[in-house]
Amino acid sequence: MRPLIFMLTLLLHSAALMAQDNCNDAALLGQIGRWKKVADVGMRDSKDQALAIRYLDSFSRFFQAMFPIPKGMEPAWYRSMNDPTFPGNPQPYTFNSIYYPWYCNKDMHKMMLSGETGTWAFVYVNFLNPFLTEQYDRIKLNPDETPIYLLPLRKGSWKGYDLYTPSTARQQGSCIVISQGGLPWKPVSQETYLQYVRRFLQSQQKEQDASLAKSKEDARKQIEHIQNSPNLSPESKQTMLNALQKQQEQQQQTAASSRAAYINYFDQQLKTVDDYLAKTSPSVLQQPAFIPKYSKSIFDGNFSSEAAGGRMVVTANPDYTDHQLSSCRPQFMILFWKWEKDAPSQNFKQQFESDFPVEKLQAMLGDVAGKNNHPSKNTK
């Protein structure tokens, strides 16, 4: 009986190894999936929702025609709506597509469908968030002012459009902007950016001073509370006040040292800004501000250029939006795709970049306010 059990175990083990050996890229790509519509997210009731749905469903047909035989993948898509990036902007909405790949499970010795993936593709309509505001390396200056952002790195072109890599893609993704009659952002000049920096530094210094003042006021209230407490004996009050005074003396010494340090820091930062403004010609100060690559400072005394890997500082272009159009009418789109390194994902990337009909998206903007030019193409 034991020899029979041993032989069965050996056969099963051999079959598992054979199944594992047969699980390769070719086998994965031999698994043919089917497109699936899944539940929408955040669709808002409005008079224009039907128009948004018609556009989103058109996008779905474009994607399915581009990727009719999903090799090694099970693709799904859904609609979603979003809040405007800036007040007064048209209604944004998104076509979302996700691509679940088959993979070789070494523990189970078989091919399995992944339950998660980093391979996605989107069409964002009237929505700048994934391109600007959701990047990991945002400029965080005074939140009460008009927001400014770093334009994603431009890495070439695709089908005549400037190709960008937002930091949200972590280098494994690309996007283009499809627009008409201009761009939904505009550059921020060096002078304007330095004005932002100066006001930010001054506000930070005021916050530090306010924090120290609050600490002193809290200490005064604590002393007053001990002195007026009816539940403490005079001896207990004195003991507590002596301990509190000693603690406060130590804190004041530390606070004085800290204040001297941050005043020196802010003074040096402001001097760097003022020195640049003083030595730079007005014509240069009106040029777009480019933040140096890998800069850890809001301003280190120099600006960069796109050729040197710098990131342009931009803000919303209020003149781009046509408020006479329907709220859900597309005024610009962002086509964004990202991928994993597995064979099915790489196959999707290759097919997408070869066959996606971007001209059909551009055509949907062709009659926006009668604008016919395509400034999103190679806007260098």
E strand or H helix at 98? strand 93-105
pLDDT, average across residues 265-279? 93
* Confidence at residue 12, expressed as pLDDT on a 0 to 100 scale: 40
Question: Higher pLDDT residue, 95 or 367?
Answer: 95
pLDDT, average across residues 355-368? 87
* Confidence at residue 259, expressed as pLDDT on a 0 to 100 scale: 77
> Positive or negative, the Cα torsion across 175, 181, 183, 184?
negative
pLDDT, average across residues 53-62? 97
| Summary mean pLDDT of the chain | 85
Contact status, residue 102 vs residue 115, Cβ threshold 8 Å = no
* Confidence at residue 25, expressed as pLDDT on a 0 to 100 scale: 95
Question: Higher pLDDT residue, 254 or 323?
Answer: 323
Which of the four pLDDT bands, split at 50, 70 and 90, describes residue 379? very low
Question: Higher pLDDT residue, 21 or 335?
Answer: 335
Q: What is the DSSP string of 235-285?
A: HHHHHHHHHHHHHHHHHHHHHHHHHHHHHHHHHHHHHHHHHHHHHS-HHHH
pLDDT, average across residues 197-203? 90
Give the start-to-end residue ranges of the domains of the chain.
Answer: 23-185+318-370, 190-287
> Helix, strand, coil % (nearest 5) of the chain?
40, 20, 40
* Confidence at residue 109, expressed as pLDDT on a 0 to 100 scale: 84
Model pLDDT for residues 161-171, shown as the tens digit of each residue? 999 988 776 66
Model pLDDT for residues 169-192, shown as the tens digit of each residue? 666 899 999 998 889 999 999 999
pTM for this one? Answer: 0.80
Model pLDDT for residues 95-154, shown as the tens digit of each residue? 999 999 999 998 888 999 999 999 999 999 999 888 887 777 777 787 677 888 889 988
Least confident of 38-52, 197-211, 239-253, 355-369: 239-253
Which of the four pLDDT bands, split at 50, 70 and 90, describes residue 4? very low
290: left (phi over 0), alpha (psi -120 to 50) or beta: beta
Residues 6+ apart with CB under 8 A from 177: 131, 161, 162, 164, 183, 184, 332, 333, 334, 376
Bridge partners for 175 per DSSP: 164, 336
pLDDT of residue 253 exceeding 90, the answer is no
Question: Higher pLDDT residue, 46 or 344?
Answer: 344
* Confidence at residue 284, expressed as pLDDT on a 0 to 100 scale: 97
Question: Higher pLDDT residue, 376 or 207?
Answer: 207
> CA 94 → CA 68, 118, 235, 374, distances in Å?
21, 17, 70, 22
Give the whole-number percent of the chain exceeding pLDDT 70: 89
pLDDT of residue 335 exceeding 70, the answer is yes
Give the whole-number percent of the chain exceeding pLDDT 90: 51
- For 209, the 3-state DSSP assignment is helix
Question: Higher pLDDT residue, 276 or 130?
Answer: 276
* Confidence at residue 380, expressed as pLDDT on a 0 to 100 scale: 43
pLDDT, average across residues 29-57? 92
Question: Higher pLDDT residue, 137 or 288?
Answer: 288
Single-letter amino acid code for the residue at 116: E
Contact status, residue 205 vs residue 214, Cβ threshold 8 Å = no
pLDDT of residue 206 exceeding 50, the answer is yes
pLDDT of residue 355 exceeding 80, the answer is yes
pLDDT, average across residues 44-65? 92
pLDDT, average across residues 44-69? 93
pLDDT, average across residues 50-63? 96
Least confident of 67-71, 217-221, 247-251, 283-287: 247-251
